[in-house]
Amino acid sequence: MDRAAVTVGPGMDMPIMHDGDRYELVRDIGSGNFGVARLMRNRADGQLVAVKYIERGEKIDENVQREIINHRSLRHPNIIRFKEVILTPTHLAIVMEYASGGELFERICNAGRFSEDEARFFFQQLISGVSYCHSMQVCHRDLKLENTLLDGSTAPRLKICDFGYSKSSVLHSQPKSTVGTPAYIAPEVLLKKEYDGKVADVWSCGVTLYVMLVGAYPFEDPDEPKNFRKTIQRILGVQYSIPDYVHISPECQDLISRIFVANPATVSTFSLVGPLVLHILCFEPLTNIVYTEDHYP
């Protein structure tokens, strides 16, 4: 077997090996533009892991390199744990923690919408993970329900995943490209000028909170939800409302209004305002959850 080192990016030398040396296939769990995701079992200890396979060649681009460099620098209970990268003869395989509870998106689809208490439970975990990313100078740039996974516990722990669009303010230039998912994109990202990726992340968190509470996207036209042009216009104009049939506390409405503002300069990142928001707006900390090293698989 050829185990000569191969370089796929800065600081990413690794040997070529067959993934079957270390992991055995359980089943396929997803696919996308990146390739295929598979549930695998570690032969040594029986631990389940998620492995993302990306075909070697043109698909191993700058985004993939950034994903690996940024993701592996993060270690937090609300972020999917990066384990290792393996080069097979045909693919690059990114090995990560497996979250057995599926996507937060699926949970909302099944429920329709969450109570404020349940939304608070997940939102606190989301901003905890995002605040940590920002403290490590990493902005995610594609935060959405589909990129928030849950573990299999009774009170599920939220796990942020997919750092393919992420940027580090230490390693990379200020973001100016329009990336992300349309319904979650902040107005300043659409203007194709330099923007603060951390503040754009805060906007995406606000969209996630709104969807959890309302069961719909804030900037989609209710009559034409698939009209992309209208969605963009409503985002740029910060045109949203909370339906009359949805009861949301004044404190929570105030929090949403502080996030959805046209001028990003007036929005602080969660690393600065998170604790204040939780205290003032009655989003009380989850004091019953204590994280130890055991929570970092």
Same domain, 136 and 278: yes
Whether 275 is covered by a domain: the verdict is yes
| pLDDT at 131 (0 to 100) | 93
Cite the annotated binding site for ATP by residue number: 52
Residue 133 near residue 140, CB atoms below 8 Å: yes
Q: What's the CATH number where 82 sits?
A: 3.30.200.20
Whether 227 is covered by a domain: the verdict is yes
| pLDDT at 268 (0 to 100) | 60
Same domain, 144 and 270: yes
Whether 232 is covered by a domain: the verdict is yes
Whether 4 is covered by a domain: the verdict is no
| pLDDT at 56 (0 to 100) | 84
Whether 201 is covered by a domain: the verdict is yes
Cite the annotated binding site by residue number: 52
Question: In a structure prediction context, what are the per-residue pLDDT tens digits for the chain, which is 297 residues long?
Answer: 333 333 344 444 444 556 567 899 999 998 877 788 999 999 999 999 999 999 887 767 778 888 999 999 999 999 999 999 998 888 899 999 999 999 999 999 999 999 999 999 999 999 999 999 999 999 999 999 999 999 999 999 999 999 988 988 765 444 445 555 789 999 988 887 788 889 999 999 999 999 999 999 999 988 888 898 999 999 999 999 999 999 999 989 989 998 999 887 776 665 444 544 554 444 444 444 444 444 454
Same domain, 84 and 106: no
265 Cβ neighbours under 8 A, 6+ residues apart? none
| pLDDT at 191 (0 to 100) | 85
Residue 270 near residue 131, CB atoms below 8 Å: yes
Which of 97, 127, 151 corresponds to the end of one domain?
97
Q: What's the rounded Cα separation, in Å, for the pair 200 and 138?
A: 12
Partnered with residue 94 across adjacent β-strands are: 52, 85
Domain count, the chain: 2
Same domain, 108 and 132: yes
Same domain, 77 and 28: yes
Q: What's the CATH number where 155 sits?
A: 1.10.510.10
User: In degrees rounded to 5, what are phi and psi of residue 57?
Assistant: 130, -135
| pLDDT at 4 (0 to 100) | 33
- What distance lies between CA 8 and its chain's CA centroid? 24
Which of 97, 129, 156 corresponds to the end of one domain?
97
Whether 8 is covered by a domain: the verdict is no
Catalytic residues: 142
DSSP type of residue 284: -
Whether 33 is covered by a domain: the verdict is yes
Can you give the residue range of the structural domain that contains 137? Answer: 102-164+176-282
Partnered with residue 86 across adjacent β-strands are: 93
Predicted TM-score (pTM) of the model is: 0.83
- What distance lies between CA 112 and its chain's CA centroid? 21
Same domain, 113 and 236: yes
